[in-house]
Amino acid sequence: MGSISAMVEQDVQPSDWQTKVAQKRQQCREAIPREWQLSPEISKMLAFPLDKNPNRLFDMDIVKKSGILSEREISITEDYTVPELLAKLASGESTSVEVTTAFSKRAAIAQQLTSCLTETFFELALQRAKYVDQCRSEGKVLGPLHGLPISLKDSFQVAGTEASIGFVSFLGKKSEQNSPIVDILLSLGAVPYVKTNIPQTLMTADSDNNVFGRVLNPHNTSLGAGGSSGGEGALIAFRGSPLGIGTDVGGSIRIPALCCGTYGFKPTSSRVPYGGQATPGLPGWKPILACAGPLASDFEALEILTKAIIDAVPATFDSTAIDVPWRRLEQDAGAKLRIGVLAEDPLYPLHPPVKRALAEAAKKLEDQGHQVIQLSPEQGHVADSTEVACELFTLETETPRGHILASGEPPVPSVAAGHRPANFGSYKCVPDIGKLEKLQKYAALTVKRQELSEDWRKIWSEMKLDAVISPPAQNTAVPHDTYGWPPYTVLLNLLDYPACILPFSKSLQEQDSEPLQIQPGQAGPHYDPGTQHGAPCSIQIFTSRMRDEECIRAARIIEKCLR
């Protein structure tokens, strides 16, 4: 918001788009109750500008020092997992009004520090919370999420609010109806209360736009929070939401999870309903199917949310959803898994803390009796999948560009940088792709995609793997506008595999002391031990398509080992 105020101070006449942004930001500020706004004393603790200085918000204990939350509200937001919160709500030990108020207050603080929110509807949420409490008192349970506040990525439509997805040209348009997933959440007893920030175009891993500003990472505000569900990642890491829903077409759930140290789950596409969202692209153009899924502060929340939504028979709400029930698998706590380990691709080298975390996780699993099988870079097809996905994504870029041009706003830096990795064109898994017309190109890429899927089918079949663990990214959270292309997540969008992110370890300057410079022919951000010190590390677990239940089960076993 600093650029707007600076512009006014210099007595420069704002353009139409800047005027619209100033008005929208003023509305957003006014939507936060005065008693929830941070005092000047808290501002004195911070180093400005926040995105240029490594403010480590958790170390500052700002929530407690602000005095905005009571001790009991701090406990509600910090001390319980989602299953524990649901149990407290079910027993009457806590009311939905109490829990919703606590998370609303904390979300308001998170917004003032990290710009993680877009739309807030605290009053409506409290009315909803009173209603579900009344239902509870009458013995009527609405569903497995009864009374639980849930945050939503900005692209989901909530009737009466905006879904501008960071485009100035979309401002002022109210959603006339809910996205199907919102209706399902309401039917399950949930309490939506905020929507969360995203990147302009939804196609970069830096959640930054001219309307709502840049999402900052609460671990270190000079690092990115990931994208495109970056607001969800920052909000949940800050404990301003117990459970949120993001979307993922190239890593957009998993990247914020790994950057912010939360759990995340990308299901197989269409198992969780995705329809009825605001979209930046050409309607109907879906070369890679996106999916919706949860981010949370605890692992169990991932299954609770996914299972509850699928059990609600989403195909009766959304024609794009697959009508496949959630399968109840036997939970063998002592089961030993055959686990593949995805190799580092030489074109997309891993940062030292990422490489260390993956090696430590593999050793822990082996030490506890699981079979660990190393896969080669050739078997993993990370670079090939990156090339195919990038070609598919860049077949149609005119529509998002048109939304930007419509208002006169400029592209933000990560969008201006383009959607291709720096080494794009240095290798060709699809020969002569540049010579083909668009339709021929799409067909050739589809053939290559099927070849990659077939190679992976053989791996599952011949190696009899239960799951694969992999780096979720080359890197941890990195400085703003440097994340670039996401090779280790987009692989699984191309294959349409379900995948979990589990927080594990962190970047440590003493242990991971060697800088990493990306070499010619490679792509990715550089690694600086000092800048990235303390950033969360994670591992990614995935299974084959439609094996979402097996993915969750394997991740639970692996999570237990790693803890």
Binding residues for substrate: 202, 228, 249-252
How far apart, in whole angstroms, are the C-alpha atoms of residue 227 and residue 165? 12
Which two three-digit tokens encode residue 178? 């809910």
Options 94, 252, 270, 505, the catalytic residue: 252
Q: Mean pLDDT across the chain, nearest whole number?
A: 96
Q: Please give the average per-residue pLDDT across 461-480, as a whole number.
A: 98
**For the chain, give me the number of helices (H) and strands (E)?**
21, 15
Share of the chain above pLDDT 90, in %: 94
Share of the chain above pLDDT 70, in %: 98
Residues sharing a CB contact under 8 Å with residue 320, sequence separation 6 or more, in sequence order: 270, 273, 274, 275
- The answer, yes or no, to whether residue 304 has pLDDT greater than 60, is yes
- The answer, yes or no, to whether residue 441 has pLDDT greater than 80, is yes
Q: Judge if 17-49+57-316 and 338-510+530-562 fold alike in CATH terms.
A: yes
Q: Please give the average per-residue pLDDT across 97-119, as a whole number.
A: 98
Binding residues: 202, 228, 249-252
228 catalytic per annotation: yes
pLDDT tens, residue by residue, 400-423: 999 999 999 999 999 999 878 988
- The answer, yes or no, to whether residue 427 has pLDDT greater than 90, is no
Predicted pLDDT of residue 516: 97
Predicted pLDDT of residue 245: 98
CATH number of 338-510+530-562: 3.90.1300.10
Q: Which helix (H) or strand (E) holds 391?
A: helix 382-393
pLDDT tens, residue by residue, 499-550: 999 999 999 999 999 999 999 999 999 999 999 999 999 999 999 999 999 9
**296: β partners:** 243, 263
Q: DSSP readout, 129-186?
A: HHHHHHHHHTT----TTTT-EEEEETTB--TTSB--TT-GGGTT-B-SS--HHHHHHH
Options 96, 104, 228, 470, the catalytic residue: 228
Q: Please give the average per-residue pLDDT across 191-209, as a whole number.
A: 98
In this prediction, residue 6 has a pLDDT band, given cuts at 50, 70 and 90, of very low
Predicted pLDDT of residue 12: 53
Q: What is the pTM of this model?
A: 0.97
20 catalytic per annotation: no
269 catalytic per annotation: no
Predicted pLDDT of residue 10: 42
How far apart, in whole angstroms, are the C-alpha atoms of residue 504 and residue 489? 17
Options 20, 105, 153, 307, the catalytic residue: 153
pLDDT tens, residue by residue, 59-100: 999 999 999 999 999 999 999 999 999 999 999 999 999 999
What is the residue extent of each domain of the chain? 17-49+57-316, 338-510+530-562
Which of 271-275, 283-287, 425-429, 555-559 comes out lowest in average pLDDT? 425-429
Q: Please give the average per-residue pLDDT across 276-294, as a whole number.
A: 97
Judge: domain 17-49+57-316, CATH 3.90.740.10: no
